Amino acid sequence: MSIEPGYSQRRPVGSGTESRILDHGAAVLIALDNLTDEQFERHGLEVLKRELGANGLARFLRLHRSGSGDYTRDRIDWQKDLTVDEIVESIRQRRV
């Protein structure tokens, strides 16, 4: 059975499974966790194109990248009553 370059597959690793991709058709599998954000995004777009076709990929991107509203204005509104200490503490809690 041949596997297309960039094909996602689940393979047993240790006690569970781990997502991996083929590295541009090479015999080496790369764990998705080890990809850079750019590599991960490119892989995701390849998977969407393969599964949805070019028109489906374009539709998906149009729906999920355009967004609505004004994030900057909304962010200012929900952050206006926060102190710097509260923001720093919020960041610390997310890192734990």
Average pLDDT of the chain, as a whole number? 76
Query: Mean pLDDT, to the nearest integer, of 1-21?
Result: 47
DSSP structural state of residue 12: E
Domain extents in the chain: 8-68
Asked whether the beta carbons of 11 and 18 are under 8 A apart, the reply is yes
Summarised one tens digit per residue, pLDDT across range 28-67 is 667 888 888 898 899 899 999 999 999 999 998 888 876 6
Residue 35 burial (CB count, 10 A) = 17
pLDDT for res 72:
86
pLDDT band per the 50, 70, 90 thresholds, residue 10:
very low
Question: What amino acid occupies position 88?
Answer: V
Handedness of CA 24, 25, 28, 32 (dihedral sign): positive
Does the global pTM surpass 0.75?
no
Cross-strand partners of 12:
17
Tabulate helix, strand, coil % of the chain (nearest 5).
55, 15, 30
